[in-house]
């Protein structure tokens, strides 16, 4: 089992013919992902990577039956791309684009309310169900199929956690990079809840970072609803207050935003907290045996 994407997912690429879209669509196709076409305005009717190109998401959905879209559109146009995919009835939109203005994402968040579309990202590495479907920019070879779900704000730490889990003799059910911007489509709690309800997932790795309250909210939900072991890590343990570290959302705005505060809350809520990503795999193996 898995969450969000699987071997039956039908993916279109918005920004298909651009440099980033071309490169990562090629990687996705080589992985075995069902990329059924792409969207580039004014290039409809042409072919790219042996897939059809459409002018609009609506045209792509009508022709291909796509249910997932991945977005490689420049920041100034990415919000419109997300809303276009939503309007076309796409169930899952994964936005890789970094640097989308916050006020644009406020509009997107409001637009998504009441729709059936789930947004992953923006500024994220995507989603992968190993051996079935890779919708994103992650190195597929790192991920091996198994029963550990990963939720992470950081792309690099997603890959590191997957590598550690695999080296511990475990594998990944689905890994979700939720994105590091201040406003994202799917917060940590929602992604954890999806994995908690997935019968194919036996344990969950939750990776957060300084800034915001998503990890604390997820931890409190886990305390009340956990049926599976959760191993947690918070990046930015040495970050000074008021300094943004990497992601736009990674800035300490209050006492509860620090790594230490988040790790304390997580531990109090029953999450096994590690001090370094290098311990994620071995720790998960231990807690599964309890």
Torsion sign across C-alpha atoms 64, 6, 184, 71: negative
Among candidate residues 247, 259, 266, 269, the one labeled active-site is: 247
59 burial level (CB within 10 Å; 0-12, 13-18, 19+): middle
Any idea what the Cα angle at residue 151 is, between residues 178 and 10, rounded to 5°? Answer: 65
Closest alpha carbon to 253 in 245, 243, 262, 263: 243
By DSSP bridging, strand 145-152 and strand 203-209 are parallel
The residues pairing with 183 across neighbouring beta strands, listed in sequence order, are: none
Closest alpha carbon to 136 in 145, 125, 150, 144: 125
Task: Look up 247 and say whether it is catalytic.
Answer: yes
Q: How far apart are CA 226 and CA 27, in angstroms?
A: 36
Strand order in the sheet with 68-71: 47-48, 51-54, 35-39, 11-14, 68-71, 92-95, 118-120
* Residues known to be catalytic: 247
């Amino acid at each position: 089992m898995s969450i969000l994407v699987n071997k039956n997912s039908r993916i279109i690429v918005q920004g298909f013919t651009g440099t980033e879209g071309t490169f990562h669509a090629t990687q996705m196709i080589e992985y075995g992902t069902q990329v059924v076409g792409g969207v580039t305005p004014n290039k409809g009717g042409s072919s790219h990577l042996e897939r059809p190109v459409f002018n609009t998401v609506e045209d792509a959905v009508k022709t291909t039956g796509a249910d997932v879209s991945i977005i490689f559109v420049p920041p100034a146009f990415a919000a419109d791309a997300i809303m276009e995919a939503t309007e076309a009835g796409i169930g899952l939109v994964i936005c890789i684009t970094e640097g989308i203005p916050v006020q644009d994402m406020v509009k997107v968040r409001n637009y998504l309310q009441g729709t059936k579309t789930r947004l992953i990202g923006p500024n994220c590495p995507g989603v992968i169900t190993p051996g079935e479907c890779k919708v994103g920019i992650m190195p597929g070879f790192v991920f091996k199929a198994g029963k550990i779900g990963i939720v992470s704000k950081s792309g690099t730490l997603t890959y590191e956690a997957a590598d550690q889990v695999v080296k511990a003799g475990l594998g990944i059910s689905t890994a979700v990079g939720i994105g590091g911007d201040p406003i994202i489509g799917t917060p940590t709690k929602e992604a954890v809840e999806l994995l908690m309800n997935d019968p194919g997932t036996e344990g969950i790795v939750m990776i957060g970072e300084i800034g915001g309250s998503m990890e604390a909210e997820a931890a409190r939900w886990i305390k009340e609803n956990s049926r599976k072991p959760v191993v947690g890590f918070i990046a930015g343990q040495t970050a000074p207050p008021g300094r943004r570290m990497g992601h736009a959302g990674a800035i300490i705005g209050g006492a509860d935003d620090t790594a230490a505060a988040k790790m304390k809350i997580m531990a109090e809520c029953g999450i096994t907290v590690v001090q370094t990503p290098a311990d994620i795999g071995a720790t998960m193996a231990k807690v599964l045996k309890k």
